């Protein structure tokens, strides 16, 4: 049991992998590695129906997987995966410099946000957390 609510098992549950449905694996891998800056961890063709490509955002404990035979979600249907960054303006500039169509910065009381989409239309939000005053 944690201070924040009920725990089913009494142990941590850590999100490690999020599927990103794409129509062209090589194009998506190039976008995420060459333009967004994810680390290419694995690219394994298991058989003609299964290709597993794992990519990790710099500093993240959670990776994404894309490939062939990975998910039955239609390409472009993953919406709003959120990544926390230290400086959303610097991250936005880097994305734009690498040809990513990134939004303007949206400042809200709960953080500053920049959004972008991959070539299939899967959407992402970068969030810079506000300085909390306590």
Q: Which two tokens stand for residue 2?
A: 């944690």
The Cα 125–Cα 35 span in angstroms is 15
> Which CATH number is 17-128 given?
3.10.180.10
Read out DSSP for 50-85?
EEEEEEE-TT-S-EEEEEESS--SPTT----EEEE-
Q: Would you give per-residue pLDDT tens digits along the chain (134 residues)?
A: 445 667 778 899 899 999 999 999 999 999 999 999 999 999 999 999 999 999 999 999 999 999 999 999 999 999 999 999 999 999 999 999 999 999 999 999 999 999 999 999 999 999 999 987 55
In this predicted structure, what is the pLDDT of residue 8? 76
In this predicted structure, what is the pLDDT of residue 96? 98
Read out DSSP for the chain?
-BTTB--SSSS-----EEE---S-HHHHHHIIIIII--EEEEEEEEETTEEEEEEE-TT-S-EEEEEESS--SPTT----EEEE-S-HHHHHHHHHHTT--PPPPEEETTEEEEEEE-TT--EEEEEEPP----
In this predicted structure, what is the pLDDT of residue 133? 58
The tens digit of pLDDT for each residue in 37-48 reads: 999 999 999 999
In this predicted structure, what is the pLDDT of residue 134? 57
In this predicted structure, what is the pLDDT of residue 130? 93
In this predicted structure, what is the pLDDT of residue 56? 98
In this predicted structure, what is the pLDDT of residue 1? 44
In this predicted structure, what is the pLDDT of residue 117? 98
- The verdict on pTM exceeding 0.85 is yes
């Amino acid at each position: 049991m944690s201070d924040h609510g009920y725990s089913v098992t009494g142990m941590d549950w850590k999100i490690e992998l999020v599927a990103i449905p794409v129509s062209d694996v090589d194009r998506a891998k190039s976008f995420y590695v060459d333009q967004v800056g994810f680390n290419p961890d694995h690219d394994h063709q298991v058989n003609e129906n299964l290709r597993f490509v794992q990519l990790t955002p710099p500093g993240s404990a959670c990776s994404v997987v894309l490939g062939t035979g990975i998910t039955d979600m239609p390409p472009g249907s993953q919406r709003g995966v959120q990544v926390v960054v230290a400086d959303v303006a610097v991250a936005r500039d880097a994305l734009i410099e690498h040809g990513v169509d990134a939004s303007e910065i949206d400042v809200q009381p709960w953080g500053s946000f920049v959004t972008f989409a991959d070539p299939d239309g899967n959407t992402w939000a970068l969030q810079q957390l506000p300085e909390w005053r306590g």
